A and B are shown apart, each in its own frame.
Chain A
Amino acid sequence: MSDSQSIQASLRSRAAELLASDQVAELIGWGAGRFPDQTTPLFITQADQAEGLVYSEYCQNTLGKYAITELSELVADQGKLAICVRGCESRGINRMLKDNQIERDRLYLLGIPCSGMKNRQSGELLSKCMNCSHKNPVIYDELLGETVAEGEPDRFGAVCALEECDRASREQYFDAAFDRCIRCYACREVCPVCTCRECFVDQHEVGWQGKQGNTTENRFYSLTRAFHISDRCVECGECERACPMGLPLMVLNRKLVKDLDDLFQAGEAGLDAVAVNSLGTYDVADVEEFM
């Protein structure tokens, strides 16, 4: 039995036990999609539905963000919400705990060590998994399966390569990217950090975001989104995976992550639920370049 098959087996049996004993009221995992190897997020509330859970190397969706909506619909005394967490989901969960979006004692976290997910059509490792720095969950209640060895991710390779290009080619590269954006806001929807009740793009009366579908407005959206998540991005890569137009969102996110780390030793986000955000604080000894 392969690793993912044994994880699937223990996931199904633990899910059935947890739901049957009423310890948890709902469980979020993955189920089969319409096509071979396709998976889709699955929400179950009954022990007999546990057989529908799937865990394979094609579980592309990062589930963390669903915790917010599902918890808001779950009555507190009904039981907890169980959710499968790999490294990426667990860091998102920490982020949402830190942002007071969810409560730890209402969650039951089923940790899953993950060696990376594949694109079901090409069979290649997903780009979001290529430079993953936390394959094992950083927070969980129980671990299904053995921990896997962490790799040596090159988180900032793409950022550094672009930094070395001249200004005009960077402008061209990003203008072409912003030009493609259709402002579907999928990147915001899936992000565990984008949790504002009302996003600036929806504040029509204030009018932050113009309605034109042009490069200038798309740039305004993309740069604002990136800046809003800058010191909190957990680098799960889900925004870039969800983007239907293939925008290089991770280089924007990681550019900020890298700079904040270089300038203010910000470190990685989402490793615990208490760390202070680097843009939410200051140090009188910060570097000075505006004098």
Chain B
Amino acid sequence: MSVVETNVATTGAMATGANSPAAAESWQPSILAFACHWCTYSGADLAGLNRMEYPANVRLLRVPCSGRVNPQYVLSALGKGADGVLVCGCHPGDCHYVSGNYYAKRRLMAFKRLLEFTGLEPGRFQVRWISGSEAGKFRDTVTRVCEEVRALGPLTTDQRQALADPVLAGAAATTQAGEAQ
């Protein structure tokens, strides 16, 4: 949990500028990708070894299994600065723990439908199975997800609105200055 928070805190800060019109041009999507240690993470490694290029907007967060991804992580990330979330795991049948991704599949299928039902754009939460040897699929997936989220624009959350509000942002800055003294 704290991992998610720290990771997204940086992307959140980066994305704050998005709400001020002047910065709209330079807005970059922040995407959090949960990658299973046994497959996608190695796939990403392989992509790196092969010097494949993919957008730097994607932050990888290594998890032991896609079954480890609590749907609350996804909601947390979206509420705290991520514009999109990607969950990647081993192909069905290939799970290092035998069945983790099968449970993840059921869970995330239902959760994705719930998020979309309540209004989230389908592109903002995606799940893909990517094996350790599929460096190309990893590159293509993150590139595509990044472009889809870029087209959707920044995700509005209360945290962002508060940070973009000049009064609230000013108050936060004063508090920090006061604390430093």
Q: Which residue of B2, B102, B118 contacts A286 across the interface (Cβ within 8 Å)? A: B102
Interface size (B, Cβ < 8 Å)? 36
Contacts of B117 in A (CB 8 A): 159, 162-163, 170, 252, 255
A175 at the interface (CB under 8 A from B): yes
- Bin the interface of chain A by size: 35 or more
Q: Which of B69-107 contact A (CB under 8 A)?
A: 71-72, 75-76, 79, 91-93, 99, 102-103, 105-107
Interface string of B132-151 (1 = CB under 8 A from A): 00000000000000000000
A226 contacts the other chain (Cβ, under 8 Å)? yes
Pick the contact of A284 from B102, B110, B114 — CB < 8 Å? B102
Q: How far is the CA of A200 from the CA of B115 in the complex (A)?
A: 19
Cross-chain contact A230 with B110 (CB below 8 angstroms): yes
Task: Tell which of A220, A227, A252 has the most Cβ of chain B within 10 Å.
Answer: A227
Inter-chain contacts of A256 with B (CB < 8 A) = 110, 114
- Pick out which of these stretches binds chain A: B16-24, B25-33, B44-52, B121-129: B121-129
B106 near A279: Cβ-Cβ < 8 Å: yes
Q: Say yes or no: A263 contacts B109, CB within 8 Å.
A: yes
| A289 in contact with B109 (CB, 8 Å) | yes
Q: Shortest distance in angstroms between B53's beta carbon and chain A's nearest beta carbon?
A: 24
Asked whether A288 lies within 8 Å of B92 as measured between CB atoms, the reply is yes
Complexed CA–CA distance, A260 and B118 (Å): 17
A226 to B157, CA, bound (A): 20
Q: Which residues of chain A come closer than 8 Å to B108, judged between CB atoms?
A: 290
Question: With A and B bound together, what is the CA distance between A40 and B8 in angstroms?
Answer: 47
Known interface pairs A212-B158, A227-B114; A168-B119 also in contact (CB < 8 Å): yes
Assess whether A167 is interfacial by the CB under 8 Å rule.
yes
B92 lies within 8 A of A207 (CB):
no
A224 near B110: Cβ-Cβ < 8 Å? no
| A212→B79 CA distance, assembly (Å) | 12
Most buried by B among A168, A283, A290: A290
Contact partners of B120 in chain A: CB under 8 A: 171
CB distance from B47 to the nearest CB of A (A): 19
Whether a CB of chain B sits under 8 angstroms from the CB of A2 is no
* A199 nearest CB across to chain B (Å): 12
Question: B10 at the A/B interface (Cβ < 8 Å)?
Answer: no
Q: A174-B118, A230-B110, A255-B113 are in contact. Are A286 and B158 (CB under 8 A)?
A: no
Identity of the chain B residue whose Cβ is nearest the Cβ of A179 in the assembled complex: B158
Q: Which A residues lie within 8 Å of B105 (CB)?
A: 282, 286, 288, 290
Cβ of A286 and Cβ of B129 under 8 Å apart? no
Query: At the interface, is chain A mostly helix, strand, loop or mixed?
Result: helix
A159 proximity list for chain B (CB < 8 A): 117
> What string of 1s and 0s marks CB contacts (under 8 Å) between A40-70 and chain B?
0000000000000000000000000000000
Residues of A with C-beta under 8 A to B54? none
> Which residue of chain A lies nearest to B87 when distances are taken between CB atoms in the complex?
A290
* Known pairs A206-B1, A227-B71; A219 contacts B118 (CB<8 A): yes
Residue A217 at the chain B interface, CB threshold 8 Å: yes
Q: Are B119 and A227 in contact (CB under 8 A)?
A: no
| Chain A hits for B113, CB < 8 A | 255, 259
Does A215 make an interface contact (CB < 8 A)?
yes
With a CB–CB cut-off of 8 A, which chain B residues contact A210?
79
A167 to B129 CA separation, bound complex (whole angstroms): 27
Using A163-B117, A206-B1, A288-B92 as known contacts, say yes or no to A220 and B76 having CB atoms under 8 A apart: yes
Contacts A170-B118, A223-B115, A227-B71 given; indicate if A278 touches B158 (C-beta within 8 A). no
A215 touches B129 (CB 8 A): no
State how many angstroms separate the Cβ of A196 from the closest Cβ of chain B: 14
Residue in chain B with minimal CB distance to A226: B114
Chain B CB within 8 A of A156 CB? no
B115 partner residues in chain A, CB cutoff 8 A: 223
Given contacts A216-B79, A219-B118, A279-B107, contact A284 B92 (CB under 8 A): yes
Judged by a CB distance under 8 angstroms, whether A72 is at the interface is no
Complex contact A279–B110 (CB within 8 A):
yes
Q: Is the CB of A220 within 8 A of B106?
A: no
> Cβ of A175: which chain B residues have Cβ within 8 Å of it?
119
Answer whether A217 and B79 are a contact pair too, CB < 8 Å, given A172-B119, A279-B107, A291-B129: yes
The 8 A-B residue pairs with the shortest CB-CB distance, nearest first, are A171-B119, A282-B102, A214-B158, A216-B158, A174-B118, A290-B127, A216-B79, A170-B119
Q: List 9 A-B contacts (CB under 8 A).
A: A206-B1, A212-B158, A279-B106, A282-B103, A282-B106, A286-B106, A288-B105, A290-B105, A290-B127
